[in-house]
């Protein structure tokens, strides 16, 4: 592969302005092309060859129109997974010896092609997981960013590292790859996170097994096709869609797997952590687990905040993509002096929410990912009612054609109440009133999670105190708690939100390498 001679500084991929007629028409055309292709056929990809799976097949459906099948996917079983692990292990020797520049060029080339076809990738996510135009476009932009950023990071890690010099020795610190890893991404950012958790280890010199979410095999296969197109060597990326119980557990427990890169629920993440902690016969290392798990994220609005800015930020963070983001605001903490005024400004926005199929640009809210997710949210709403929380908006299904749920707001929520403590992953907002700043900080920190949070206020002393005392991996001041940008907001959280991996940051590639010190005596 020809290597790019000059690497420009990293710049985030711009979002598409759909108010420009040309852009809107181009996206509409991509939607029509995607719809005409359904159901797409997805196969396993092991050792450079497409193949059927030993586990049969499964399908993904359009959550906003459940009669539509988006993708029919082959399903890997344990034997397929074992074959993929063996193939990746065999490919590792050659891939690890490639230079960082060689490996990075595959990512640069993939980013260039994805940029040219960004609407095609985004259109698939509109149908397969229910993303609006803007949410899908942002997902694709982030995927491009991950490719560009991690490629540059690989080059930076390969440079000579600064060490203290001593006479009589020439010392060098090298970051070398670990081996074979497992990537287990979620459905809610089915392109961006999948690309990030897979390609960061690959560009660092590892070989990867990718098990995409069973809700989004279609978009995963599009990315696989892209990596085939750029010529990624056989065995470096093994594609094994299938169940977590069979494929996932086989990967996590196998002695040849060096690390697991996981994004998903707390329950699954804890299970992976426990399984990876064992050392089966033949395993001569401790597996690494890089886990980005759940969140019960807050926005705390103080008495002196800019209410208009805080209201629009809260609305976007709570209800964008149906609240199905680990960074979504599900706890709104309001100072009692502005509580009523804030709610008066927020409710008209909630009530005016356009709900419908996301292929129509006018619709802000689409369906939840599947029936189970919707039912779990409805159960949480029922619990809130039983506990005496006041329903002031939503609370019901919005349509029978898909898994639609109205944007929902409860006031009068206590810190021990179900919807204040449990992650619903839904467009449900719990509002808690506090008497002062200190009580607001206590409420914000009163959770097992610690992913994202936001503080709105004008007093500089309180802002400084909030920056120190609010416990979240990504804390935002006077802006919403969603919308992290690669390279700008390294992303990851505390406590049961995971291992604080800081995806999209300068520490990330170190998680998939080991540092080797070479010291040579010289005259």
Residues marked as catalytic: 292, 326
CB neighbours (10 Å) of residue 354? 11
Tokens of 104: 């990075």
Q: Which residues contact 404 (CB under 8 A, 6 or more apart)?
A: 64, 355, 365, 366, 367, 368, 374, 397, 398
- CA–CA separation, 60 and 69 (whole Å): 6
Tokens of 290: 């890089």
State how beta strands 408-411 and 428-434 pair: parallel
CB neighbours (10 Å) of residue 166? 9
State the DSSP string of 364-424.
SB---SSHHHHHHHHHHHHHHHHTT-EEEE--SEEETTTTEE--EEEES--TTSHHHHS--
**Pick from 399, 442, 403: which is nearest to 425 by CA?**
403
- CA–CA separation, 160 and 438 (whole Å): 47
Dihedrals phi, psi of 437, to nearest 5 degrees:
-60, -45
- Contact, 359 vs 127, CB < 8 A? yes
- Contact, 73 vs 98, CB < 8 A? no
Could you give the count of Cα atoms lying within 13 Å of 248 in the half-sphere of its Cβ? 20
- CA–CA separation, 141 and 446 (whole Å): 34
Could you give the count of Cα atoms lying within 13 Å of 434 in the half-sphere of its Cβ? 20
């Amino acid at each position: 592969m020809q290597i790019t001679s000059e690497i420009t500084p990293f710049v985030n991929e711009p979002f598409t302005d759909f108010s420009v007629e040309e852009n809107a028409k181009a996206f509409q055309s991509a939607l029509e092309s995607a719809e005409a292709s359904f159901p797409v056929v997805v196969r396993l990809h092991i050792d450079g060859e497409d193949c059927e799976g030993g586990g049969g097949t499964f399908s993904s459906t359009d959550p906003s129109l459940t009669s539509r099948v988006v993708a029919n996917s082959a399903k890997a079983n344990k034997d397929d997974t074992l074959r993929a692990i063996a193939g990746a292990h065999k490919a590792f020797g050659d891939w690890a010896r490639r230079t960082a520049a060689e490996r990075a060029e595959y990512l640069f080339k993939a980013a260039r092609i994805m940029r040219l076809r960004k609407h095609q990738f985004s259109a698939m996510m509109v149908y397969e997981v229910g993303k609006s135009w803007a949410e899908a476009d942002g997902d694709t932009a982030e995927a491009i960013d991950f490719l560009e950023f991690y490629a540059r990071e690989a080059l930076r890690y390969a440079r000579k590292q600064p060490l203290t010099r001593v006479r009589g020795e020439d010392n060098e610190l090298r970051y070398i790859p670990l081996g074979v890893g497992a990537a287990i991404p979620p459905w809610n950012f089915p392109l961006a996170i999948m690309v990030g958790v897979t390609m960061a280890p690959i560009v660092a010199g590892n070989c990867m097994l990718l098990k995409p979410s069973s809700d989004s095999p279609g978009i995963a296969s599009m990315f696989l096709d892209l990596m085939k197109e750029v010529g990624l060597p056989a065995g470096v990326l093994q594609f094994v869609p299938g169940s977590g119980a069979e494929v996932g557990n086989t990967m996590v427990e196998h002695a040849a797997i060096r690390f697991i890169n996981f994004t998903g629920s707390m329950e699954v993440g804890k299970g992976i952590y426990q399984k990876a902690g064992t050392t089966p016969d033949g395993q001569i290392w401790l597996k690494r687990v890089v886990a980005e798990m759940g969140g019960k994220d807050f926005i705390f609005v103080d008495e002196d905040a800019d209410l208009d800015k805080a209201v629009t930020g809260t609305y976007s963070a709570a209800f964008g993509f149906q609240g199905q983001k680990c960074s979504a605001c599900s706890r709104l903490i309001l100072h009692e002096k502005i509580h009523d005024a804030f709610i008066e400004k927020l409710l008209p926005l909630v009530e005016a929410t356009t709900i419908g199929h996301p292929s129509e640009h006018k619709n802000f809210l689409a369906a939840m990912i599947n029936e189970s997710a919707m039912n779990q949210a409805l159960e949480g709403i029922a619990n809130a009612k039983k506990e005496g929380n006041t329903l002031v908006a939503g609370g019901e299904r919005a349509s029978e054609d898909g898994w639609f749920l109205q944007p929902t707001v409860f006031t009068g929520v206590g810190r021990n109440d179900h919807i204040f403590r449990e992650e619903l992953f839904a467009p449900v907002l719990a509002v808690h009133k506090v008497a002062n700043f200190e009580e607001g900080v206590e409420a914000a920190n009163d959770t097992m999670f610690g992913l994202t949070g936001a503080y709105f206020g004008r007093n500089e002393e309180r802002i400084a105190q909030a920056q120190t005392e609010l416990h979240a991996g990504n804390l935002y001041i006077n802006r919403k708690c969603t919308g992290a940008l690669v390279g700008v907001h390294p992303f990851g959280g505390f406590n049961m939100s995971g291992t604080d991996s800081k995806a999209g940051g300068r520490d990330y590639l170190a998680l998939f390498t080991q540092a080797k010190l070479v010291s040579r005596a010289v005259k």
